[in-house]
Amino acid sequence: MKKSIGQQFKQKSHKVYVGWDSREVEAYDVARSSLIRHSKSTVAVIPLRLHELPMLTRPIERKDGKMWCPISQAPMATEFAISRFCVPLMRKEGWALFVDSDIVCLGDIGELFALADSKYAVLCVKHDYTPTDTTKMDGQAQTIYSRKNWSSVVLWQCAHPSNRKLTVEVLNTWPGRDLHAFKWLDDSEIGELPKEWNYLDGVYPFPNPEIKIAHLTRGGPWLKDWKGGPMDQMWLMERDAMLKAKGANAEK
């Protein structure tokens, strides 16, 4: 009997690439821990560090002490603003997930991989909103562009023929807004995930017991001088669980 996609994924380890920023290492650590802790299957979590991505050569400048993309003529809030688009170039086969580092995974990531559909090049939550805040995180400018936050959680079909259009040249020459909007793809090749898999702080009603991935888009307790937000307790609980597990392992 032919196995369903979901059954196949339950027997595999899952590749999850997480955005990494040298200013927010603790956020990455908690995201990684939550992805692994809630999964019933093996999860390989890979940080996307800029210095480990030789295919990413587009220039990064500094303006007023903040990162600036001269190609996009726009600020870059994080070091992984563009690195997520390296995933299909690195992996080239199978399915892989990308998530921003300012997330807490509360569900079994295997359930997300089970939503993979081979007719799509990518699957994501298709948010329909325009941010009203002018800043986010640690004072970073809030950039407005089409399909905002669609690319913050992406399930990639790395071998999909249309993802071959995302070449190294495209990666390094297109404005960030076009990459984040998946402009190399036809709209029919972008599948939709339930919003619970990228539940945006300040956008969707909270609390919600159905949240699978909580996305603290406006920042969180890992930031200096953070003033607090509604999803903080979720993040702090995951951090406590991570530290407890590290302490237990250290005692062995």
CA 155 to chain centre: 9
Angle between helix 25-37 and helix 232-251 axes, rounded to 10 deg: 80
Q: How much is the pLDDT for 136?
A: 52
In the chain, where are the structural domains located? Answer: 5-251
Per-residue pLDDT of the chain (252 residues; tens, 9 = 90+): 344 444 444 446 899 999 999 999 999 999 999 999 999 999 999 999 999 999 999 999 999 889 999 999 999 999 999 999 999 999 999 999 999 999 999 999 999 999 999 999 999 999 998 766 545 555 555 466 689 999 999 999 999 999 999 999 999 999 999 999 999 999 999 999 999 999 999 999 999 999 999 999 999 999 999 999 999 999 999 999 999 999 887 776
pLDDT of residue 40: 95
pLDDT at 131: 66
CATH of domain 5-251: 3.90.550
> How far is residue 78's CA from residue 69's CA, in Å, rounded to a whole number?
11
Per-residue pLDDT, 233:
97
Tell me what pLDDT residue 129 has.
84
Nearest to 108 by CA among 231, 213, 233, 28: 213
Secondary structure (DSSP) of the chain: -PPPHHHHHHTS-EEEEEE--TT-HHHHHHHHHHHHHT-SS-EEEEEE-GGG-TT-----EEETTEEEETTTTEE-SSTTTTGGGGHHHHH-SSEEEEE-SSEEE-S-HHHHHTT--TT-SEEE---------SEETTTEE----TTTTGGGEEEEETT-GGGGGS-HHHHHHS-HHHHHTTTTS-GGGEEE--GGGGEETTTS-S--TT-SEEE-TT--TTSTT----TTHHHHHHHHHHHHHHHHHHHH-
Tell me the HSE value of 189 on the side-chain side, using a 13 A CA sphere: 16
Angle of CA points 118, 43, 110, to nearest 5°: 45
Torsion angle of the four alpha carbons 238, 239, 241, 242, in this order, in degrees rounded to the nearest 10: 120
Relative to beta strand 199-200, strand 213-215 is parallel
Joined together, the tokens standing for residue 213 give 């991935």
Cβ 17 vs Cβ 48: under 8 Å: yes
